[in-house]
Chain A
Amino acid sequence: QVQLVQSGAEVKKPGASVRVSCKASGYTFTTYYMHWVRQAPGQGLEWMGMINPTDGNTNYAQKFQGRVTMTRDTSTSTVYMDLSSLRSEDTAVYYCGREKAGGTFDYRGQGTLVTVSS
């Protein structure tokens, strides 16, 4: 069965960086794009960007350009989302989710809480 398992909760200080991982199983890793979405407390969902696991190509939301980096490791079927220069507004639950090219979103990870606090 398809599973996307994310890394555990993180607490970071302002200005630091965080890495969240998303390990995929139950399907061929390179046949689906992987997206990252976040949700701040009491807020809606926010699309951050996506990576094509086949070639590592990425598209980032303009808001996160220069601060976010998405990478993948095909040997372990894992994607990573690095967010730098953290500020309190980055406190949120971060989700990975897969998309079959052409707009078919289906499975997502369980979410990772990132707390930014001094």
Chain B
Amino acid sequence: QTVVTQEPSLTVSPGGTVTLTCASSTGAVTSSYMPNWFQQKPGQAPRTLIYRTSNKHSWTPARFSGSLLGGKAALTLSGVQPEDEAEYHCLLYYGGAWVFGGGTKLTVL
């Protein structure tokens, strides 16, 4: 069974930079896994921030960026704002099926 692993929780100071990662039990994550990143705030539906590794939607704040880093998919927040406190979920493609990571709870403190 394929497992996608994210950091359970991270804490960052306002204005700081933080990188969330997304690893696959099958090996290095490449662009063929088409990583997507979702942000979810309490009581809200998740919204997509990043698609296909590094592409942003029109609603994605410029401070969010996606990449591949050390064999993982990565989401970097630069100049973190208090409103970025949320759960972040990554999603990877496995040839016909998709698998979510367990999510990272980001605290801005």
Residues of A within 8 A of B (CB): 35, 37, 44-47, 50, 59, 61-62, 95, 102-106, 108-111
Instruction: State how many angstroms separate the Cβ of A58 from the closest Cβ of chain B.
Output: 10
Question: Are A104 and B51 in contact, CB atoms less than 8 angstroms apart?
Answer: yes
Question: Are A47 and B100 in contact, CB atoms less than 8 angstroms apart?
Answer: yes
Question: Are A105 and B89 in contact, CB atoms less than 8 angstroms apart?
Answer: no
Please judge, given known A-B contacts A44-B89, A47-B91, A106-B51, whether A61 and B97 are in contact too, CB under 8 Å: yes
Instruction: State how many angstroms separate the Cβ of B7 from the closest Cβ of chain A.
Output: 13
Of all chain A residues, the one with the shortest Cβ separation from B95 is A59
The docked-state distance in angstroms from the alpha carbon of A110 to that of B96 is: 25
Of all chain A residues, the one with the shortest Cβ separation from B36 is A105
Question: Are B48 and A105 in contact, CB atoms less than 8 angstroms apart?
Answer: yes
Instruction: State how many angstroms separate the Cβ of A61 from the closest Cβ of chain B.
Output: 6
Residues of B within 8 A of A (CB): 34, 36, 38, 40, 45-48, 51-52, 55, 57, 87, 89, 91, 93, 96-103
In the assembled complex, which residues on chain A have CB atoms less than 8 Å from the CB atom of B47?
A: 108
Give 29 A-B contacts (CB < 8 Å), ordered by A residue.
A37-B100, A44-B87, A44-B89, A44-B100, A44-B101, A44-B103, A45-B38, A45-B40, A45-B46, A45-B89, A47-B91, A47-B98, A47-B99, A47-B100, A61-B97, A62-B97, A95-B45, A95-B46, A102-B52, A103-B34, A104-B51, A105-B38, A105-B48, A105-B51, A105-B91, A108-B46, A108-B47, A110-B45, A111-B45
Main secondary structure of the interface of A (DSSP, over half): strand
Please judge, given known A-B contacts A44-B89, A45-B89, A95-B45, whether A106 and B99 are in contact too, CB under 8 Å: no
Contacts A37-B100, A44-B89, A62-B97 known; 10 new A-B pairs at CB < 8 A: A44-B87, A44-B103, A46-B100, A102-B34, A104-B55, A106-B48, A106-B51, A108-B47, A109-B45, A110-B45
* Contacts across chains A and B counted by CB atoms under 8 Å: 54
The docked-state distance in angstroms from the alpha carbon of A109 to that of B46 is: 10
In the assembled complex, which residues on chain B have CB atoms less than 8 Å from the CB atom of A104?
A: 51-52, 55
In the assembled complex, which residues on chain B have CB atoms less than 8 Å from the CB atom of A95?
A: 45-46
